[in-house]
Structure 1
Amino acid sequence: MPRDGEPAATSVREAVFDLLRRLGLTTVFGNPGSTELPFLDRWPADFRYELCLAEAVAVAMADGHARATGRAALCNLHSAVGIGHAMGNLFTAFRNQAPVVVTVGQQARSLLPGNPFLGATDAAAFPRPYVKWSVEPARAEDVPRAIAQAHAIAMQHPRGPVMVSIPMDDWARPAAAVPPRTHRNDMAPDPAGLAECAAALAAAARPVLVAGAEVDAEGAGPALVALAEKLRAPVLAAPFAARVCFPEDHPLFAGFLPAAPGAIGAALAPFDAVLVAGAPVFTFHVAGECAAFAGPAPIFQMTTDGESAAAAGAGTALLGSLRLGLPALAALLPDATRPPPAPRPPAPAPEAGDPLRAEWLFAAIRRRLPPGAVVVEEAPSHRPAIQRHLPITEWGGFLTMASGGLGHGLPAAMGVALAGRRVVAVIGDGSMLYCIQALWNAAQGRLPVTVVVVNNGGYGAMRSFSGVLGVTGAPGIDVPGVGFADIARGFGVPARRCDTPAAVEAALAEGLALDGPLLLDVPVDPAIPHLYAKAH
C-alpha cells in the first residue's frame, strides 16, 4: 500500500494514459506495428488515433497540429524502422521548433541482448541530434515519468521534438502514477542587455528590425508591431522563416531577406542599427561573406534559441522570451520623431500567361483566401513569387518548413486542419510525391484542405540552383507524366485538373466552399527565376 501522499500503484499503461489526459495529449498520430500493440490494446474511448499511412506523414501531421495549437502533439512510431522512415520530417520538426512527443515501440526487454527482430540497437541514440532529448528508460516503471519529462522538454523554448523508446513488455508492468506538475518556461532577457540595445536603437538614425518565426510561435506579434511603430523602423522577414514574421500588408513591412550573404549585406547596408527578433543571424543557403558582420552598425539578436545565439556571426545576443523581452525593450525607448519609411510598393498584378504563370496562380489564391485560413506552403522554388503575390496578413496564417527537407507540407496541412483551421496547401509537384499518402487522411477526416499542386513538371528549385552554381545538363530534375488528380481520387479526395484561368478560379471557389478536401492540379510555366538574385 502506498504511504499517505504517494501516488497509487497502477500499470505503466494506465499511468501513461492518465498522464496523457492531464497533458492534453489525447490525439495520437501513428503508424502501428507489433511492438505498439500493447499500447494500443483496449484503446480508450476518449482518445483519438489518427492513422497515418507512413511514419513521415505521422510526424509531419503532429508537427502541423502542434504549431497550429501551440501545444505539444503525440506521435507513436514503430521501432527503429519507423524512426528511420520518419527521420526526414523529424529533422524538419526540429528545425521548425515543433513540440512533438514521439513514443517508439521497442522489442521486449528479455530479447534485447540477442539482437532480436525489430529490436532497436541503442534506440535513444538513433534520432540524435535531431531531437532535443531521447531516452529508453532503464526500468519499466520509469516510463510514465520519462514521458512527463519528455513533454516538459519539448515545450521548453526553443521547443522541439523528443523521443521515448518503450519496450513492448513494459506496458503491463506496475508503476506509480505521475504527480501533476506545472512548468513556466518563459525567461526575460538580461535587463542590462536590453538597456544597451535600447540605447543603440534610440541613437540610430536608420534602425531596422529583422523578424523571425519565433515571433509568431511565441504570440509576440502584437508586441513586435508596437515596437516597430514606436521606432518608426522598417521590418524585414528573416531568411527561411517557417512562420509569418510580420503582417505583410503593414506599411512598415519592407520585404524578405534572401539566404545569401552578399544580398543580406547589401540589404542591411543603409541601416545603422539592427535588431534581429526570433531568428538566427543569419540563415544562409549559398556561400559568401556578409558585409553586415564587419559593418559599423551594431547588431542585436533577441531569441530563446541558445544554439542560434552561440553561432558564429556578429552582434550582441539577448537570450530570453520575445513575449517578455519586446515589451520591456519598447518601454525603454522614446517615441521616434523621424518620418516613417516609405511603404513597400505593391506587387504589380501578374498576367495569367499561357502556360499559366505561377505568379498569377498565387495572386488568384490571395483574392479568394478567406479570413482565418492558414496557408501551408512547400513550393520552395516559387517562394519569392509567393511572398510577392500571396502576402500573409494574419498572425498564425502561414506555416512552412525551416529545414529544406521535402515531404513536410502536405501532411502538416492535414495536422493544421485537424486542429480546426481551414487550410490552403500550396505544394510543388516534386514535394507532393514525398508524402502523398496524407491525402488519405484528408479524405477520411473530411478535412477542410484545398490542396493546390503547383505543377512545373519537376524539381524547380534544382533548375534554379543549377543556374546559381553554373551547372548545365544535370539529370534527375524533370518529373513528367504524374497524374495528381487521378492519385487524389484514388485516395478518396475529389480533384480537378486546371489548365486555364477560368478553371483555376472555379476550382478555388469550389474548394474553399467545401467542408472537406479538394485538390487542384495546376500546370504552370516551368521557367524558374533565380532564387537569390536580390532581396525582395
Structure 2
Amino acid sequence: MRSTVRTATLALLRELGVTMVFGNPGSTELAFLADWPSDFRYVLGLQESVVVGMADGYAQATGRAAFVNLHSAAGVGHALGAIFTAYKNQTPLVITAGQQARSLLALQPFLGAEHAAEFPKPHVKWAIEPARAEDVPLAIAQAWQIAMQAPCGPTFVSIPSDDWDKPAEPVVLRPKSRLLAPDPEGLAQIARALEASRRPAIVFGPGVGRENMQDEVTVLVEQLDADVWAAPMISRDGVAQDHPRFAGFLPAASGPLAKSLERYDCILMLGGPAFLLHVPDGLAVLAQLPPLFQITDDPRSAVASPRATSLIASLRLAVPALARLITHRPATASKARDPISAPPAGISLTPELAVHILAGLAPQDAVFVEEAPSHKTAIQRFLPIGKEQGFHAMASGGLGFGLAAAAGLALGRPRRRVVAFIGDGSAMYSIQSLWSAAREKLPVTYVILNNRGYGAMRAFSRMMQISDIPGIDVEGIDFVALARALGCPAALAETAEELDRAFRQSLASEGPMLIEVNVGSEIAALF
C-alpha cells in the first residue's frame, strides 16, 4: 500500500499508543478524518476550548501527551485560553490545526492562516507548519517528544489540507530518556542544610502530583519530621491532607505567606512554583524567610525564585537520592495544624457544608476537580486531598478548565468517579462540556456551587476597598435546565437532604449528572 502523510501519521500515533483524538472538525480537517479507522476514538467537543480542556484532563490522567485536532486559525483562536491553561498546567498536548490548501495560500484564501505557527506562541513549547507535506509525520513525532520532555506542555503543528494524501515515509521512533538527574553536589548541599535544621518545612508544588511522587515525598517528610505545606493555588495533589505533619495551604499573598513560614529555619520547595503570588501586598517581607532550597524540573520556576538555591532535576530521581543522603537530624520542635472539625449543619446549604457532605459520600478512589475560585478555601478545608492522582485544578487563573477537564479525566480513568466542584461563573465558560460527557456516558458528577455571580471578584473588591464594581452579579441561570437540554441528567439541591439524595443518585448512575447547589451570595475569604 502506498504510504501517505495520513497513513504514516496514523501508524505513528498507533506506535505511540495515541488512539484517542479530541476534536472539533471543519473543512480543512476532512482529509484527515476521511474513512476514520475503527481502532481510533474521536471525542467531539462543541467548542475548541472544550476540546483542549478535555484533552488536558485526559493527558493528566494518563501521563501521556493527548492528541488534539482543531479547525484552522479561528478554531485555534477559540482555544487559546485553554492552551494557555494547559501551558501553565504543564500538560503535554500535541495540538494540530487544519490549514488551507498549499495551492491557495499565496492568494490569501478563505480559512487561510497567516503565520499559523506563530499564532499560539508563546504558550506552546514548539510550533511549526512543515515546509513540505512529507515532513508532517516527522513534525508530529517531534511535537510529541517535545511535549513530553520536562517541563511538559502543549506543542502545535499546522497542516495544510492537501498534505494528507501526499506520499510520505513512515517515521521510525527511537527511545528517549526524559528524566533529569540531579547535580550530586547540589543535592549534597540541600541534604547538609536539612540535617542541620531543627525546624524544617517542605512546600510541595504541583510537580509532586505530575510526577506521581506523593508517596516518596511523604517518606521524606516523615524522615525529616518536617511540617509540610501545599504551595499557593495548588493545582495537583501531594502529601495527604490528613497526614499528621500536613500544616495547611500557603496563601498567595506575600505577607500572610511569610507569617506562615516564619517559625522554620530551613525550607525545601519541591515541584514548584512554590510561592505563586496573586496579591500585590509588597515583596520585601519575603527577604525575611529562612534559607530556601528548591528542586524542580522547570528552569523557569528556578529563575522565578531568586532567593532560593535551586536544583533542576526530576523529582523521581532527586527525592529518593536526597532521602538516602540524610542520615541524622536533630529533633524538631515544629507542630502541624490541628484537625478541623465539621462545619455546623443548618437549614440552608453553605459552601463549607456542601463540600463536607459530598466529601463524606464520595468513593475512596474519587478524582476531584476544583474550579470554584470563591469557594477554594472551603474546598481546601473540608475536602481532604492527597490521594494518589486524586485532585486537579487549573494553574492559569483562566476559567473554563474544570467542566471540560472532568470529562477528559473520566476518559483517562474510566473506572473512577470524577467529582467536579465548579462555580456558576466558571461553568458558563465551557458549559458545552456536558454534551460531550453525556454523549460518552462518562462517570462525572458536576457540582455547581451557585452564588449567582463572580464571588472571587466580590471578595477582591472588598479586600481592595473598591465599591460599585459592575459585571459581578450573574442572575437567572437555570443550570438544571441547561444540563438537561445538553442531555445530562440534573437536580437542584437547596437542603442537605436534597444534596445527599442527589449525590447518591449520581453515584448510582453510569453516566454524568449535574447538581446545582444554591449557596447564597455571601462573600468568601480568599486568604
Q: Report TM bin, short chain.
A: over 0.9
For residue 132 of structure 2, the aligned residue among 110, 129, 139 is: 139
> Hey, what does 1:28 align to over in structure 2?
21
Structure 1 residues 478 and 525, CA gap change in structure 2 (3 angstroms): same
Rounded Cα–Cα distance in structure 1 between residues aligned with 2:245 and 2:333: 8
- Are positions 1:112 and 2:105 aligned together? yes
Rounded Cα–Cα distance in structure 2 between residues aligned with 1:232 and 1:81: 53
Conservation of the 8 A alpha-carbon contact between 2:347 and 2:496? no
1:287-345 deviations in Å (ceiling 9; x for gaps):
13345642362101100001111125311110010010011111111244515743421
> Hey, what does 2:317 align to over in structure 1?
324
1:114-164 deviations in Å (ceiling 9; x for gaps):
111101110000000111111000100000000000000000011111100
Rounded Cα–Cα distance in structure 2 between residues aligned with 1:440 and 1:53: 8
- Are positions 1:56 and 2:49 aligned together? yes
> Hey, what does 1:301 align to over in structure 2?
294
> Hey, what does 1:524 align to over in structure 2?
519
1:160-179 mapped onto 2 (5 Å cutoff): 160-179=153-172
- Are positions 1:128 and 2:108 aligned together? no
> Hey, what does 1:206 align to over in structure 2?
199
1:395-474 mapped onto 2 (5 Å cutoff): 395-419=388-412, 420=414, 421-474=416-469
Conservation of the 8 A alpha-carbon contact between 1:456 and 1:523? yes
For residue 18 of structure 1, the aligned residue among 11, 28, 40 is: 11
Conservation of the 8 A alpha-carbon contact between 1:269 and 1:292? no
> Hey, what does 2:474 align to over in structure 1?
479
> Hey, what does 2:252 align to over in structure 1?
259
1:155-206 deviations in Å (ceiling 9; x for gaps):
0011111100000000011111000211210011111100111111111111
Rounded Cα–Cα distance in structure 2 between residues aligned with 1:288 and 1:296: 16
1:380 maps to a residue whose letter is P
For residue 215 of structure 1, give the secondary structure of its aligned residue in structure 2: helix
For residue 174 of structure 1, give the secondary structure of its aligned residue in structure 2: coil
Conservation of the 8 A alpha-carbon contact between 1:449 and 1:516? yes
Gapped regions of structure 1 (runs ≥ 5): 1-7
> Hey, what does 1:245 align to over in structure 2?
238
Rounded Cα–Cα distance in structure 2 between residues aligned with 1:460 and 1:509: 28
Rounded Cα–Cα distance in structure 2 between residues aligned with 1:164 and 1:386: 38
Rounded Cα–Cα distance in structure 2 between residues aligned with 1:193 and 1:288: 33
Conservation of the 8 A alpha-carbon contact between 1:213 and 1:245? yes
Rounded Cα–Cα distance in structure 2 between residues aligned with 1:346 and 1:507: 28
Larger mean Cα displacement after TM superposition, 72-81 or 348-357:
348-357
1:41-65 deviations in Å (ceiling 9; x for gaps):
1101100000110000000000000
1:21 maps to a residue whose letter is R
Rounded Cα–Cα distance in structure 1 between residues aligned with 2:333 and 2:444: 39
For residue 269 of structure 2, the aligned residue among 259, 267, 276 is: 276
For residue 3 of structure 2, give the secondary structure of its aligned residue in structure 1: strand
Conservation of the 8 A alpha-carbon contact between 2:205 and 2:274? no
* Alignment TM-score, normalising by the size of structure 1: 0.96
Conservation of the 8 A alpha-carbon contact between 1:252 and 1:341? no
Rounded Cα–Cα distance in structure 2 between residues aligned with 1:488 and 1:280: 36
Rounded Cα–Cα distance in structure 1 between residues aligned with 2:332 and 2:312: 31
* Alignment TM-score, normalising by the size of structure 2: 0.98
RMSD of the TM alignment (CA)? 1.3
Rounded Cα–Cα distance in structure 1 between residues aligned with 2:162 and 2:318: 47
Tell me the percent identity: 53
TM superposition shift of 1:391? 1.1
For residue 475 of structure 2, give the secondary structure of its aligned residue in structure 1: coil
Rounded Cα–Cα distance in structure 2 between residues aligned with 1:273 and 1:292: 16
Rounded Cα–Cα distance in structure 2 between residues aligned with 1:367 and 1:343: 23
2:207 maps to a residue whose letter is E
Gapped regions of structure 2 (runs ≥ 5): none
Structure 1 residues 296 and 58, CA gap change in structure 2 (3 angstroms): closer
